[in-house]
Chains A and B, each alone.
Chain A
Amino acid sequence: MPTQAAELVFDEATKRYPGRADAAVDRLSLTVPAGEICVLVGPSGGGKTTALKLVNRLIPLTSGDIRVDGTSILEHDLAELRRSIGYVIQQVGLFPHMTVEANIGTVPRLLGWPRARIRERVGELLALVGLDPESDRRRFPSQLSGGQRQRVGLARALAANPPLMLMDEPFGAIDPIVRSRLQDEFLRLQSELRKTVVFVTHDVDEAIKLGDRIAILREGGRLAQYDTPERILREPADEFVAEFVGRDRALKALALRTLGDLEPARAARDGLPRLPASTSLRDALAVLLAERRDALVVTDDGGAPLGVVTREDILG
Chain B
Amino acid sequence: MSGIRLASGPVIPHFAQGSHCEQTNGWFCTDWLREHWGDTLQPALVQHVELTLIAVGVGFAIAFALALVGFRFRVFDLPLGVLSDFLYTIPSLALFQLLVAVTGLTVLTVEIALVSYTLFILYRNFVAGLRAVPPDVLESARGMGLTRVQTFFRVELPLAAPAIMAGLRIATVSTISIATVAAFFIRDGLGDPIFRAINENLFKTEILAAGGLAILLALVADGLLAAVQRAITPWSRLR
Q: Which residues of A contact B (CB under 8 A)?
A: 56, 58, 78-84, 87, 89-98, 106-107, 110, 140, 142-143, 153, 156, 166
- Mostly, the A contact residues are mixed
Q: Which residue of A lies closest to B142 (CB)?
A: A58
Query: Chain B residues near A96 (CB, 8 Å)?
Result: 134, 137, 159, 235
Pull 24 A–B residue pairs with CB atoms less than 8 Å apart, ordered by A: A58-B139, A79-B147, A82-B142, A87-B140, A89-B136, A90-B136, A91-B136, A92-B140, A93-B137, A93-B143, A94-B137, A95-B155, A95-B159, A96-B137, A96-B159, A96-B235, A97-B155, A97-B161, A97-B233, A110-B144, A142-B238, A142-B239, A153-B140, A166-B143
Instruction: Tell whether, in the assembled complex, residue A56 and residue B136 are in contact, meaning their CB atoms are under 8 Å apart.
Output: no
Query: Chain B residues near A94 (CB, 8 Å)?
Result: 137, 140
Instruction: Tell whether, in the assembled complex, residue B147 and residue A93 are in contact, meaning their CB atoms are under 8 Å apart.
Output: no
* Interface hub of B136, B138, B143, B235 (most chain A Cβ within 10 A): B143
Instruction: Tell whether, in the assembled complex, residue B235 and residue A142 are in contact, meaning their CB atoms are under 8 Å apart.
Output: yes
- Distance, CA A142 to CA B140, complexed state (A): 17
Instruction: Give a binary string over B141-152; 1 marks a CB under 8 Å from any A CB, 0 the rest.
Output: 111111100100
Query: Chain B residues near A143 (CB, 8 Å)?
Result: 238
- Distance, CA A143 to CA B234, complexed state (A): 12
Q: How far is the CB of B140 from chain A (nearest CB, A)?
A: 3
- Distance, CA A95 to CA B150, complexed state (A): 13
Chain A CB within 8 A of B13 CB:
no
Chain A CB within 8 A of B57 CB:
no
Instruction: Tell whether, in the assembled complex, residue A93 and residue B140 are in contact, meaning their CB atoms are under 8 Å apart.
Output: yes
Query: Chain B residues near A166 (CB, 8 Å)?
Result: 143
- Distance, CA A47 to CA B142, complexed state (A): 20
Chain A CB within 8 A of B104 CB:
no
Q: Which residue of A lies closest to B162 (CB)?
A: A97
Q: How far is the CB of A183 from chain B (nearest CB, A)?
A: 21
Number of residue pairs A-B, CB distance < 8 angstroms: 75
Chain A CB within 8 A of B211 CB:
no
Instruction: Tell whether, in the assembled complex, residue A92 and residue B146 are in contact, meaning their CB atoms are under 8 Å apart.
Output: no
Query: Chain B residues near A107 (CB, 8 Å)?
Result: 144-145
B residues contacting the other copy or chain, number (CB 8 A): 25
- Distance, CA A94 to CA B239, complexed state (A): 15
Q: Which residues of B contact A (CB under 8 A)?
A: 134, 136-147, 150, 154-155, 158-159, 161, 233-236, 238-239
Q: How far is the CB of A157 from chain B (nearest CB, A)?
A: 8
8 Å CB contact of B144 from A87, A91, A142? A87
8 Å CB contact of A89 from B143, B145, B234? B143
* Interface hub of B142, B147, B161, B233 (most chain A Cβ within 10 A): B142
Query: Chain B residues near A82 (CB, 8 Å)?
Result: 142-145
Instruction: Tell whether, in the assembled complex, residue B145 and residue A79 are in contact, meaning their CB atoms are under 8 Å apart.
Output: yes
- Distance, CA A207 to CA B180, complexed state (A): 69
- Mostly, the B contact residues are helix
Known: A79-B145, A106-B144, A110-B145. A93 touches B238 (CB 8 A): no
Instruction: Tell whether, in the assembled complex, residue B143 and residue A87 are in contact, meaning their CB atoms are under 8 Å apart.
Output: yes
Q: Which residue of B lies closest to A78 (CB)?
A: B145
Query: Chain B residues near A110 (CB, 8 Å)?
Result: 144-146, 150
Query: Chain B residues near A83 (CB, 8 Å)?
Result: 144-145
Instruction: Tell whether, in the assembled complex, residue A97 and residue B145 are in contact, meaning their CB atoms are under 8 Å apart.
Output: no
Query: Chain B residues near A98 (CB, 8 Å)?
Result: 235
- Distance, CA A166 to CA B136, complexed state (A): 15
User: What 9 pairs between A and B have smallest CB-CB spacing?
Assistant: A93-B140, A82-B145, A91-B136, A87-B143, A83-B145, A93-B136, A79-B145, A140-B235, A97-B158
Q: How far is the CB of A38 from chain B (nearest CB, A)?
A: 18
Query: Chain A residues near B144 (CB, 8 Å)?
Result: 82-83, 87, 106-107, 110, 156
Q: How far is the CB of B47 from chain A (nearest CB, A)?
A: 38
Q: How far is the CB of B228 from chain A (nearest CB, A)?
A: 15
Query: Chain B residues near A153 (CB, 8 Å)?
Result: 140
Q: How far is the CB of A50 from chain B (nearest CB, A)?
A: 14
8 Å CB contact of A140 from B136, B143, B238? B238
Q: How far is the CB of A192 from chain B (nearest CB, A)?
A: 23
Q: Which residue of B lies closest to A109 (CB)?
A: B154
- Distance, CA A91 to CA B143, complexed state (A): 13
Known: A110-B146, A142-B239. A95 touches B139 (CB 8 A): no
Query: Chain A residues near B238 (CB, 8 Å)?
Result: 140, 142-143
- Distance, CA A140 to CA B235, complexed state (A): 6
